[in-house]
Structure 1
Amino acid sequence: MNNALMTVQGLFKGAGSKGLAGPVLIILVLSMMVLPLPAFLLDIFFTFNIAVSIMVLLVSMNTLKPLEFSAFPTVLLMTTLLRLSLNVASTRIVLLEGHTGPDAAGKVIESFGHFLVGGNFAVGIVVFLILVVINFVVITKGAGRIAEVGARFTLDAMPGKQMAIDADLNAGLIGEEEARKRRLTISQEADFYGSMDGASKFVRGDAVAGIMILLINIIGGFIVGVLQHNLDVATAAKNYTLLTIGDGLVAQIPSLVISTAAGVVVSRVSTDENIGQQLMGQVFTQPLVLMLTGLIVGALGLVPGMPHFAFLLFAAILGGWGTTLWKRQRLEAVQAALPPAPTPVSLEAPEATWEDVTPIDVLGLEVGYRLISLVDKERDGDLLRRIKGLRRKFAQEVGFLPPAIHIRDNLELRPNAYRITLKGAEIGSGEALPGQFLAINPGQVTGTLQGTPTQDPAFGLPAIWVEAALKDHAQALGYTVVDVSTVVATHLSHLIHLQAASLLGIQELHQLLEHVAKSAPKLTEELIPKVLSHAVLQKVLQNLLDEGVPIRDMRSILETLSKYVPMSQDPIYLTAQVRVALGPAIIQQLYPASQELQVIAMDKELEHLLAQAMQAGGLQQAIEPGLADTLLRETRLAAERQEMMGFPTVLLVPGQLRDLLARFLKRTLPQLKVVAQDEVPGFRTVKVTSLVGGRV
């Protein structure tokens, strides 16, 4: 028991005085519904209810954005409960003490029953019903409709806002904390309008309850007065009706004020001005409108039978105010047209700073507006997740983490187009049709499909964009069917692998060395940069990546470099030695499931000619054009024969020719892999299946 008491005390202590306001108000409301209240306390609570309603209205008038009064739906609920509890408490007193006179339920109810309606209960009933109709039909219904539409449009706009936040975050314009705050604001906006839509039902129910309470009080009071207190019919009807009318009015007027506050909150447009400033700035500051209004009102005031004083008074006020504003604006326009006065201080343009230099994204993905849904999580667009996955897969396969891919929309692109950039330059583009699937023809399909013919953007294979209903049919015909996100992600992944050498910059190299130093600190400390410079190491790694060799085994790479760097600092020579050390991994990559290596070889005479050309200064300079063309043609034919047999297109050459042949053949035969004989491990069997140079 003591522990429970201490826990409750701790909760109240931690909440502070502000935290006690809610529980105290709830207890107060429940107390008024259950416990009898004297007339004096009832006056206090009715006055408090009126003051709260006025306070809420003033707060709603002075907010700049709806979220500044995010507690309004809860306030609406609490004030409604407060009014209903006061109705219950006042009903109890009216029925118990109504026979004693018009002040039985307190001075507030008496004042509203006599002063506002002149003691005429018929007039009171009419005024009460008019207030209920205004509150229920006009203000509450309109505010509820605005809140409903606002919630709908806010929810519809959430994906676009979320995407804009993600784009700013990916572009580095904002940080994680700012992005989190913006996402929270968007979520709160949707919650606010949704809550306002529901909270308006409280006011509607309050109006219905007010009518029911009015009828119940009148009928119940009449019965109590006549049967229990022996009042005559006229006296009972007058006393209880006036008390009930006063009770209804004293509750409905604050309800009307609260409903007006609700309409003000949901109908305003978020600006840097409150409602009063907006009204004065947009309605009462247009001279032509004021003068025309004054002219029309003055003309109406001259019509016989009209109240001339009132109309002509407002015509004079509006006309005078409009004329004053017109003269003031003319004076401001003339002053603005005058040349500026000379100043002794020279107005020089600000000096250029490094802040004016905008960094270019290393990797970028630009999309047309119809592809925005691909990077929007709210619309089930999973391209962002796929991009994160392909960066992780690239790091696992290649051996270093590529730069982040910055995504942004580009209105200059076609709606369904996308573009992939590397350091600001386009390296790939394509088109994707949201909602459809790309059926790629791998070469062995058994039928045709209805759709939009195209090509696979990554590998150039013939393909067709088909509707989702044809997906299963396309797969049954032998097509490879992928969705839009997979198309873009595959294209992006393919280009990243092709440009791996360009992506390994100095920043990525330092991050890679820091990662390697965690497992081999001595190796990196003794080698770099004491023996091997960062520039040479970067060039060696780029040479490997340029030919599709992963650099995951950095330990073997660095150990090999430490062995051969004292002999030469030439990146080409060092690359060749590293390739020999990585030979088993290179061959495993080319022949993953075969012990026998089916390769393309060169005629011995051709190898001799090429060796002489290399000693003379390189293939392009030393080989005559006819021999170079023949070499390219024969190599292409051998590669085609190799592909037809289903073997990898691998050319096996002596070590001294490998680098020169690889560079010479790469532009025309990018799919051909040139491997040195020293790179083949001894436990592998080599079988020559094609020959280059037999007819040279």
Structure 2
Amino acid sequence: MKKADFGVAIYLLAAVIFFIIPIPSILLDVMLAINISLAMIILFNALFAKEVLDMSFFPTLLLFTTIFRISLNVSSTRLILSTGEPGNVVETFGGFVGGGNLVIGAIVFIVLILIQFIVINKGSERVSEVTARFTLDAMPGKQMAIDADLNTGAITEKEARERRTKIQQESNFFGSMDGATKYVKGDATAGLIITFINLIGGTIMGVMNGGLSAMEALQKYGILTIGDGLVSQVPSLLISLATGILVTKASSEADFGSMLVKQLFGIPKVLYIVGATITFLGIATPLNPVLFCALGIAFLAAGRKIQKDVKVEEIEEETNADETAAEEIRRPENVVSLLQVDPIELEFGYGIIPLADVNQGGDLLDRVVMIRRQIALELGTVVPIIRLRDNIQLNPNQYIIKIKGIQVTEGEILFDHYMAMNPGYVEEEITGIPTFEPSFHLPAIWITEGQRERAESLGYTVVDPPSIIATHLTEVIRSHIAELLTRQDVSNLISNIKENNPALVDELTPKLLSIGEIQKVLQNLLQEGISIRDLLTIFENLADHAVTTRDTDVLTEYVRQGLKRAISSKYFPANETTSVVTLDPKVEQEIMGSVKQTEQGAYLTLDPEKTKNIMESLKQEVAKLENIGKNPIVITSPIVRMYFKKLTEDYFKDLIVVSYNEVESNVELQSVGMVTA
């Protein structure tokens, strides 16, 4: 056991023992002195703590000190009633503070109790309650502010974690303080009750057992009782004051004493007014002129000195600023930070800044957070941090999207306008500025706020600028999510699933597959829009088939077959016949005959003329599906699927290629054509 743990244990054990076992008056004096010392230590720690979390264990400390103080109160009560000699500390407090006079001592004690109850305890309790409520209510806003700073690159992931932890700790602290202030209030109440018991019980004991008269007993035991009450209530008052200081202290890392003095005496104008007023009162009224004039002149002199100090500080700040700027120019540039490439960046012209500025009502940052959440739910992978930056080199209403530092697409919006798109059945057209929707390049028009309601009534799909940018960004992320999946991301995914399935992960990696090979399989799935959220099924299939092959393309096909329920639900709606295109068996044979296996993997050596004929036939069949408003889906045999997909991906970006083994038995398919050579 550590020394600190041992000390705390003895402290609490002593409190329990003092409730049960009588202690001599000399030991009580020692304990009372220690109790007063601890109360002063707590008070000054609370006073000089830079922020409330520097004393995060204060609620627990309140409980410990309250129990210890009450146990000493019980011990002193036992000595007062049994021997009439509770020790030097209690007798000194009773005789010295009250001047040996019962009435004066009683009045001082009552005043102390009133201050404790009415001023400090009640105020601290109310402040703790309100602070706890407001801290809890402010948590969502603080969390969103952290996410916004993280998305804009203002802070790092580590700083964001530290801020979130601090917010949680503050919430827990003020919640605990809300309850802990009840200990302080209850302690004061208990001390008051014990005092009255001492007074009545001591008087009775003095008359019955001590042979004293009623007045003599009341005088003797009254002074002892007041001393006992004072020696108990003074530490209680100090700790109550510490509680009040802590819950009213603003979270600031500046020195408390310096800040307090600076805020009180930091404005020369205030000191001039106060000094002149006090001097006037000393001259024009019967008040002591020497005292008031001297005090007023002191305030005027202090104001003059502070005014000079302020001017000196301003000159020093200007000088330091110039020196810092010059030093920055002379210092060699740190280019390490310039070497980092952000996975995803959204840069926009100054005209789009209001959409990203929370202070101007923009919600683009919130939408970016929702995009990451949406992709995580949809595809089962974590989207890297999306950096938002303004770029004065762009047109005011232009934005560009970069992947790994390279621009992949761009768009342009009209601020304070809406984009209206005709879904195909609108009969009456609306006037506007012709444009194209950036995500899918569909024809659209820009309309004003006043035209929005009419456009919606006519059947147009109306979208606001933030939604246009968010949709475009989402589609770009979807199309590039495979290359954004890093080995570190895969390692994190493996760690997550290992918590509940350690046997599976230990069997799979690194014995059967490396992290890089698992990454390649997951990238293959994401490349075709297949969710990797069901990692357990994916890893189970990899573990089953990795013993026979380490070809990541082949393993991907096995995994796809294991995910056939998810694939079927994605492409083939329930209780509905889906129109598809099939592949001519002869074409399948020709494709398989042209496959060449190498150590680096398999590739096709199909004749260019044959490839051209297949693509022409595929184009005609896909057109049939598109004409009836269906997704272009081609069904092939399992062994051909991945080669046919590779063959067509440069010609048809959105073509869906599914094998028969990836279709559930209850799915109804209807072939509308066959791809031939």
Match of 1:350 among 318, 331, 336: 331
Q: Report what 2:215 is aligned to.
A: 234
Offset of residue 299 of structure 1: 2.2
Partner of 1:28: 14
Q: Secondary structure at the match of 1:115?
A: helix
For 1:227 and 1:664, how far apart are their aligned partners in 2? 109
TM value normalised by structure 2: 0.60
Q: How does 1:6-25 map to 2 (within 5 A)?
A: 15-25=1-11
Match among 118, 121, 126 for residue 99 of structure 2? 118
Distance 1:297 1:405, change over 3 A: same
Seen in structure 2, the aligned counterparts of structure 1 residues 307 and 114 have a Cα distance that, compared at 3 Å, is farther
SS at match of 1:283: helix
TM-score normalised by length of structure 1: 0.59
Query: In the TM superposition, what are the counterparts of 1:360-379 in structure 2 within 5 Å?
Result: 360-363=341-344
User: What corresponds to 1:208 in structure 2?
Assistant: 189
Task: Indicate the residue corresponding to 1:159 in structure 2.
Answer: 140
Q: Deviations over 1:485-507 (max 9, x none)?
A: xx999997765453468769999
Listed as ranges, the matches of 1:488-527 within 5 Å are 495-499=476-480
Matching of residues 141-180 of structure 1 within 5 Å: 141-162=122-143
Is 1:286 the equivalent of 2:267? yes
Give the SS at the match of 1:295.
helix
After TM superposition, give the deviation of residue 20 of structure 1 in Å. Answer: 1.0
User: Is 1:639 the counterpart of 2:623 in the alignment?
Assistant: yes
Give 3-state SS (helix, strand or coil) of 2:385's partner: strand
The more displaced of 260-269 and 321-330 is 321-330
| Residue equivalent to 1:573 | none
CA spacing shift, 1:406–1:90, aligned 2, 3 Å: same
Alignment of 1:76-475 (within 5 A): 76-98=62-84, 104-162=85-143, 181-331=162-312, 333=314, 348-357=329-338, 359-363=340-344, 387-392=375-380, 404-407=383-386, 422-423=403-404
> Which residue number in structure 2 is paired with residue 472 of structure 1?
none
Q: 1:637 to 1:314 in 2, by over 3 A?
A: same
TM-aligned CA distance change 1:263 to 1:644, over 3 Å: same
d(CA) in 1 for partners of 2:83 and 2:163? 57
In structure 2, C-alpha distance between the alignment counterparts of 1:517 and 1:109, rounded to whole Å: 73
Aligned equivalents of 2:35, 2:388: Cα separation in 1: 52
Q: 1:340 to 1:361 in 2, by over 3 A?
A: closer
Structure 1 contact 591–597 (Cα < 8 Å) conserved: no
**C-alpha distance in structure 1 between counterparts of 2:571 and 2:327, whole Å:** 74
1:92 maps to a residue whose letter is R
Structure 1's 253 and 155: CA in aligned 2 closer, same or farther, altered over 3 A? same
**Residues 1:213 and 1:350: Cα distance change in structure 2 (over 3 Å):** same
**Matched residue SS, 2:254:** coil
Q: Secondary structure at the match of 2:342?
A: coil
For residues 489-527 of structure 1, the C-alpha deviation after alignment (integer angstroms, 9 at most, x for no partner) is 999776545346876999999xxxxx9998699xx9xxx
Q: 1:459 to 1:152 in 2, by over 3 A?
A: farther
Identity value in percent: 35
User: Is 204-213 or 500-509 further displaced after alignment?
Assistant: 500-509
Q: Structure 1's 171 and 339: CA in aligned 2 closer, same or farther, altered over 3 A?
A: closer
CA distance, structure 1, for counterparts of residue 529 and residue 234 of structure 2: 82
- 1:347–1:105 CA distance, 2 compared to 1 (3 A): closer
Counterpart contact for 1:501–1:545, Cα < 8 Å? yes
Deviation at 1:173, TM superposition (A): 8.0
Paired position in structure 1 for 2:52: 66
Structure 2: segments with no counterpart, 5+ residues = 348-354, 392-398, 414-422, 425-436, 443-467, 491-507, 533-541, 555-559, 561-566, 585-607, 637-643, 659-669
Letter in 2 for 1:53: A
User: Offset of 1:23 from its aligned partner?
Assistant: 1.4
Task: Pick which of 179-188 and 206-215 moved more.
Answer: 179-188
What's the RMSD between the two structures over aligned residues?
Answer: 6.1
Q: Deviations over 1:233-271 (max 9, x none)?
A: 211111111111111111111111111111112211232
Mapped to 1, the partners of 2:154 and 2:321 lie a distance apart of 37
Structure 2 counterpart SS, 1:37: coil
- Per the alignment, residue 40 of structure 2 pairs with 54
* One of 15, 33, 40 as aligned partner of 2:26: 40
What SS class does the counterpart of residue 405 from structure 1 fall into?
A: coil
The runs of 5 or more residues in structure 1 that have no matched partner are 1-14, 99-103, 394-402, 413-417, 432-441, 444-455, 462-486, 510-514, 525-536, 560-581, 583-587, 601-613, 620-630, 653-657, 676-685
SS in 2 for 1:30: helix
Q: Structure 1's 316 and 106: CA in aligned 2 closer, same or farther, altered over 3 A?
A: farther
Using the alignment, how far apart are the partners of 1:324 and 1:635 within structure 2? 88
Supply the distance in 2 between the matched residues of 1:516 and 1:128 (Cα, whole angstroms): 74
- Whether contact under 8 Å (1:598, 1:648) holds in the other structure is no
Query: 1 CA distance for matches of 2:131 and 2:367?
Result: 26
Instruction: Give the number of aligned pairs.
Output: 523
Q: CA 1:220–1:642 in 2, change beyond 3 Å: closer, same or farther? A: closer
Q: Residues 135 and 170 of structure 2 are in contact (CA less than 8 Å); yes or no, is this contact kept in structure 1?
A: yes
Question: Match of 2:32, as an amino acid?
Answer: F
Please report how far the alpha carbon of residue 62 of structure 1 lies from its aligned counterpart in structure 2 after TM superposition: 2.0
Report the Cα offset of residue 354 of structure 1: 2.4
Please give the per-residue CA displacement for 1:151-198, whole angstroms capped at 9, x wherever unaligned.
Answer: 223323333444566677788887777665544433322222122211
Deviation at 1:133, TM superposition (A): 1.7
**AA paired with 2:63?**
L
Q: Distance in 2 between matches of 1:690 and 1:334?
A: 84
Against the structure 1 CA distance between its residues 28 and 547, is the aligned structure 2 distance closer, same or farther, given a 3 Å change threshold? Answer: closer
Q: Distance in 2 between matches of 1:141 and 1:411?
A: 51
1:364 and 1:346 map into 2 onto residues whose CA distance is 32
State the alpha-carbon separation in 2 of the partners of residues 211 and 37 from structure 1: 22
- For 2:26, the aligned partner's letter is F
CA pair 168-126 structure 1, distance change in 2 beyond 3 A: same
Output one character per residue of 1:285-334: Cα deviation in whole Å (capped at 9) or x when no partner: 33222222222222223343323343233223222222222233345556
Q: State whether residues 649 and 671 of structure 1, in contact with CA within 8 Å, keep that contact through their aligned partners in structure 2.
A: no
Asked if structure 2 preserves the Cα contact closer than 8 Å seen for 1:642 and 1:649, the reply is: no
Checking the alignment, whether the CA contact within 8 Å between 1:642 and 1:689 is kept in structure 2 is: no
* CA contact 2:580–2:633 (8 Å) conserved in 1: no
Give the secondary structure class of the aligned counterpart of 2:265: coil
How far is 1:208 from its partner? 1.1
SS in 2 for 1:20: helix
Kindly state the Cα deviation for residue 200 of structure 1 after the two structures are TM-superposed: 0.8
Q: Contact (CA 8 Å) 2:343, 2:386: kept in 1 or not?
A: no
Could you say what secondary structure the match of 1:191 adopts? helix
Tell me if structure 2 keeps the 8 A contact 1:297–1:311. yes
